[in-house]
């Protein structure tokens, strides 16, 4: 079911950094091998805990860029972490963490900001269920509109990959607001997803610097640009919005003004700017 | 203070509760609205976490952690609907 998918139970797990590679000028892609990871649904997050030699701990939440069931005792989890200046955890993960470093992770967390392919959703729902708004589950899967600001795209690469892996026929669109071409997360993955057989469309909005020849001058997204780039309310899409608190609240209020059902909009704010 | 939303509560509350809090539905004592905790407005500070109703801003819940103890308050919630399984 769409509203409350069945997701693995969370817990604390020891994890080892397997790889740390630059993702953008300010972010790194981290592959972790997590002992006893139970698998996760696309869109879930985890908490990373670092412990200093004196016992001081710092914990932060990160969206998971990968998804899938557990595959044995040790499972690979992919994160993409943006460096928060003066942060307690992200500068370590982006600039310091190397293969072999150990951290602790708590997860998978959150069943709200999750998308699962129709087969998995139906299996989780059984029959005669109702959705989050209390209505009957639609017989056809609802089209999905994803809207990301900056590093808010991380859960969406997991959702789009799950959609492609299942060869799911649900129409999927991603509107991705990003500062410059160098700030695009998962650029090669999205290029592949666009040409995969599952229907997926990517619309990029550059806010500070656009590639040469780009038809639009760089600018923050407006209500009008949003209206043009997202599935119309008449298609009754499920809409997921992830980004800074300001971005998410601006976009969510415009979606309501454009006639989208508030119950069909799922938001995840990560604070910041 | 920059706020977050109830998705950010998932890890902290999974330490104490056996259900996923983001999809649990709370009824607000202030206005009677029912919403998933994920839709709540969450303020965090070194002193603790305050969860507010997205409809009326009433305080739904508080979380204060110190060393090996935590204090969980649900002063503004009259009921929580939890899905079994």
Per-residue pLDDT at A124: 53
Q: What is the mean pLDDT of chain A?
A: 91
The answer, yes or no, to whether residue A141 has pLDDT greater than 90, is no
pLDDT of residue A126: 46
Predicted local distance difference test score (pLDDT) of residue A9:
83
Nearest CA in chain B to A113: B7
Query: Considering only CB atoms, which chain B residues are within 8 Å of A270?
Result: 4
Q: What is the pLDDT of residue A233?
A: 98
Whole-angstrom distance, CA of residue A74 vs CA of residue A86: 32
DSSP for chain A, written as a single string: --SS---PPPEEEEEEEEEEEE-SSSEEEEEEEEET--EE-TT-EEEEEEE-TTS-EEEEEEEBS--EE--SSEEEEEEEEE--TT-SSHHIIIII--TT-EEEEEEEE-SSS----HHHHHHHH-SS-B-TTSSBPPSSPPPEEEEEEGGGGHHHHHHHHHHHHTT--S-EEEEEEESSGGG-TTHHHHHHHHHSSS-EEEEEEESS---TT-SS------HHHHHHHS--GGG--EEEEEE-HHHHHHHHHHHHHTT--GGGEEEEE----
User: Rounded mean pLDDT of A243-247?
Assistant: 97
* Residue A134 pLDDT class (50, 70, 90 cuts): very low
Q: Which of B1, B3, B4, B7 is the mutation pick for testing A, counting most A CBs within 10 A?
A: B7
| A-chain residues near B14 (CB < 8 A) | 10, 106, 109
Looking at chain A, the whole-number percentage of residues with pLDDT higher than 90 is 82
Over 50: is that where the pLDDT of A136 sits?
no
pLDDT > 50? residue A129: no
Check whether A80 has a pLDDT greater than 80: yes
Q: How, if at all, do strands A27-35 and A57-63 pair?
A: unpaired
Contacts of B6 in chain A (CB under 8 A): 112
- Average pLDDT of the residues in B5-28: 96
Residue A168: which pLDDT band, with cuts at 50, 70 and 90? very high
**What is the phi/psi pair of residue A50, to 5°?**
-105, 140
Assign A23 a pLDDT band (cuts: 50, 70, 90): very high
Query: If you search the block for the tokens 């994160």, which residue do you land on?
Result: A79
Summarize the confidence of residues A66-82 as an average pLDDT: 88
Mean pLDDT of the region A18-29: 97
Nearest to A110 among B2, B4, B20 (CB): B20
Residue B67: band (very low, low, confident or very high) from pLDDT cuts 50, 70, 90 = confident
Which chain B residues touch A if contact means CB-CB below 8 Å?
2-8, 10-11, 14, 20, 22-23, 36, 38-39, 83, 85
Q: What is the mean pLDDT of residues A157-180?
A: 97
Q: Quick: pLDDT tens for A33-52.
A: 999 999 999 999 999 999 99
Residues of B in contact with A59 (CB under 8 A): 11
Q: Which two tokens stand for residue A172?
A: 């999927």
Q: What is the mean pLDDT of residues A179-200?
A: 97
Closest CA to A34 of A98, A106, A82: A106
Share of chain B above pLDDT 70, in %: 98
- pLDDT computed for residue A133 by the predictor: 47
- The pLDDT of residue A139 is above 80: no
Of the pLDDT bands very low, low, confident and very high (cuts 50, 70, 90), residue A10 is confident
Rounded distance between C-alpha atoms, residue B8 and residue B63, angstroms: 12
């Amino acid at each position: 079911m769409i509203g409350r998918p069945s997701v693995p139970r969370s817990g604390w797990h020891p994890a080892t950094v397997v790889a740390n590679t630059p993702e953008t000028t300010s972010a790194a892609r981290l592959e972790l091998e997590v002992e006893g990871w139970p698998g996760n649904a696309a869109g879930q997050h985890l908490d990373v805990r670092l412990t200093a030699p004196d016992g001081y701990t710092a914990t932060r939440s990160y969206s998971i860029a990968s998804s899938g069931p557990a595959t044995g005792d040790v499972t690979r989890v992919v994160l993409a972490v943006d460096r928060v200046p003066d942060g307690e955890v992200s500068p370590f993960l982006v600039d310091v963490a190397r293969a072999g470093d150990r951290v602790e992770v708590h997860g998978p967390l959150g069943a709200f900001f999750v998308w699962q392919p129709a087969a998995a959703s139906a299996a989780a729902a059984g029959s005669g269920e109702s959705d989050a708004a209390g209505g009957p589950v639609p017989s056809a899967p609802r089209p999905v509109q994803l809207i990301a600001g900056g590093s808010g795209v991380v859960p969406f690469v997991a959702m789009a990959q799950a959609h492609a892996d299942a060869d799911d026929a649900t129409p999927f669109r991603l509107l991705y607001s990003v500062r410059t071409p160098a700030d695009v997360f998962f650029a090669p993955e999205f290029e592949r997803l666009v040409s995969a057989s599952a229907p997926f469309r990517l619309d990029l909005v550059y806010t500070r610097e656009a590639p040469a020849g780009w038809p639009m001058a760089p600018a923050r997204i407006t209500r009008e640009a949003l209206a043009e780039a997202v599935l119309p309310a008449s298609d009754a899409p499920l809409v997921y919005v992830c980004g800074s608190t300001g971005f998410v609240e601006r976009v969510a209020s415009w979606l309501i003004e454009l006639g989208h059902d508030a119950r069909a909009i799922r938001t995840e704010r990560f604070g910041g700017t | 203070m920059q706020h977050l939303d109830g998705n950010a509560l998932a890890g902290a509350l999974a330490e104490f509760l056996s259900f996923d809090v983001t999809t649990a539905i709370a009824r607000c004592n202030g206005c009677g609205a029912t919403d998933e905790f994920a839709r709540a407005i969450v303020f965090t500070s070194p002193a603790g976490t305050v969860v507010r109703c997205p409809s009326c801003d009433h305080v739904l819940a508080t979380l204060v952690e110190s060393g090996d103890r935590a204090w969980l308050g649900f002063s503004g919630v009259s009921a929580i609907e939890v899905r079994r399984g």
